[in-house]
Amino acid sequence: MRLIIAEKPSLARSIAEALPGAAQKKDGYLSVGDTEVTWCLGHLLEQAPPDAYDPAFKPWRRDHLPIVPGQWKLVPRPKARGQLSVIRARLKQARQLVHAGDPDREGQLLVQEVIEHLGWKGPVQRLLINDLNRPAVARALGRIEDNARYYPLYRAAQTRARADWLYGINLTRAWTLIGRQAGHDGVLSVGRVQTPVLGLVVRRDEEIRHFTPYPFYVLWAHLRVGAGTLKAWWVPGESHRLDERGRLLDAAPAQTLAERLPGAEGQVSSVDSRRRRQPPPLPYSLSALQVDAARRHGLSAKAVLDICQRLYERHQLITYPRSDCRYLPREHLASLPGQLASACRDDTTLSGWLANADMGLRSRAFDDAKVGAHHALAPTGKPFVAERLSRQEADVYRLIARNVLAQFYPALETQEVKAEFRLLDERFQASGQTLLVPGWKPLFTTRDEPPPLPALVEGEACQALEAQVEQRETRPPEPFTDASLIKAMMNIARYVEDPEVRRTLRETDGLGTEATRAGIIETLLERDYLVRKAKALRATRLGVGLIHSLPEAVSRPERTALWEQRLEGIAEAQAEPEPFVAQLVEDLRTLVGSADSQRLSAALGAAQGESPEAGPASKRGRRTNSPRRSAGRKRRPSRKGSTT
């Protein structure tokens, strides 16, 4: 018997359907001829807690740190024991074994750690699937490879999991222990991902709190040209007092010029007119969807993830949602017209969009080279009936369907004009836009665009009709929301100064993964580090105090980039895990040694009154995280990877 172990039930079903013959459903697996297909449920195993290595580690003590296992252990997750038993029983009957985890680092780890934990000694083959359409799965079954080729990928993922354990367990214990000395009765969790995310919010809040507004002045003039009138803005020269963004800080020059302008004559000094063609926005990844759903419908990142899981598992309306990809396989071009017709027929909004779509178009979204472990979110083709879903589920589904439908609309085409004028030896600027081809834009907004400029000819005369000076005031940055914090995690390189580190972060998935980012935000809320105020996410006194008590390197994202460089070397078989782990242990000795209860106490005191307190829900979470109840207990990792 050949046994195929898939990463998740949906993948197992797709494999079974692509095999020749009818699949028979068994308890925890599917049988098709001489092949059985079973599955994991995300990670079936997790890193063992410290006391599994030595019972002395159950009480939290400073002199135990850093805890470094000599021989690493995995233990079954409590809810996974049943499926693990199924896989164990099927392995005993198997002659051939096929690893069918997702074709990425975590997918390689997730299935292979089960195979090794259960003691399989025979050869293993590798099935790589990134498109669940039946023809694509059937082709993948015809090109199964030797799993040994992907062993370095497994070692890299395994090293990342162990490194996150070392980092999270040791720093969490160290700061919890000094927290007790500083009078805080609760766990102070620290992690490679969650702590830099908290650091982003703390620093943004401090920018807002310490922001000192100041006035600046703008001057505009109504100008008459041959084809009509327009509004142009004065560009003050460097001889005036300007801020770093070129804004005028002294009203007097603007007032003087405004008094002289009415009736003044000048000319159009330059006209730059360009036709711009903008392709439709790509289909959604999970994070991109979370950003848009937060902005358009006020949904939290966690709410969007939960809605997507229901649309995928319960309603079977969308493809696998925990995807970091915004592209679709080229093969989908053949099946999507029928799927969209079926999906959209019972909804007025979607059927209206579908009626105007041109299924003969092919957008940049269909690109096999850019499809990784998963493709972008898309409708499955099952009819969408809004009345059978909650309002929020229907809202999210329409967003997903809209972005796929947009691929069958023409590009948005506009004529953009930028013009400069000279009056009284001063420069003025104006810009405008003319809509040429609306393309996909009507699916996304009904807002009126600003009026275009009248036709302009370089060198033609112009005359100022009136002018006015407006006083404005600088504004602090906006506090983070679910949408902007998810976007910051996706684009974390923007918050890094070192160009080499920034480059590495641009090439990776940022902080967290599609599957974990929402959970990171919720974890920070549950642990009283953040609180929601309306839509804003603000750091609490505890969150501010923790960040200020930690070494700066712990609360910034650079470590993720440095780890990624080392892990990529392991994944490409160019480096070994041992030197990376050894260096981490040395770093941990220094970091643990820097834990200072007086510094933490001072940081918590300084944060008093500067940050909002946590709400009732968070306070309930704090009680469950008492260090006495949590001693030695390892937090469960996410389905794919750790959110520490």
Element at 128 (helix H, strand E): none
DSSP secondary structure of 551-595: -GGGGSTHHHHHHHHHHHHHHTTSS-HHHHHHHHHHHHHHHHHT-
The count of other CB atoms within 10 Å of the CB of residue 510 is: 23
C-alpha distances in angstroms, 500 versus 196, 505, 506, 507?
A: 19, 9, 10, 11
Q: Which long-range contacts (CB under 8 A, 24 or more apart) does 355-362 make?
A: 356/409, 357/405, 357/408, 357/409, 358/408, 358/409, 358/410, 359/408, 361/407, 361/408, 361/409, 361/410, 362/333
Structural contact between residues 43 and 164, judged by C-beta atoms closer than 8 angstroms = no
Residues 231-270 as b/e (b if ≥16 CB within 10 A, e otherwise) read ebebebeeeeeeeeeebbeeeebbeebbeebeebebbbee
Cα dihedral: 491, 492, 497, 499 (round 10):
-60
Element at 533 (helix H, strand E): strand 530-533
Phi and psi of 146, rounded to 5°? -80, 125
SS3 content of the chain, % helix, strand, coil (to 5): 45, 20, 35
Catalytic residues: 320
Place of tokens 């002018």: 467
Give the HSE-up count for residue 540: Cα atoms under 13 Å, Cβ half-sphere: 17
Residues 273-294 as b/e (b if ≥16 CB within 10 A, e otherwise) read eeeeeebbbbbbbbbbbbbbbb
Element at 526 (helix H, strand E): helix 517-526
**Cβ-based burial of 415 (10 A; exposed 0-12, middle 13-18, buried ≥19):** middle
Amino acid at 540: T
**Cβ-based burial of 96 (10 A; exposed 0-12, middle 13-18, buried ≥19):** middle
Structural contact between residues 580 and 222, judged by C-beta atoms closer than 8 angstroms = no
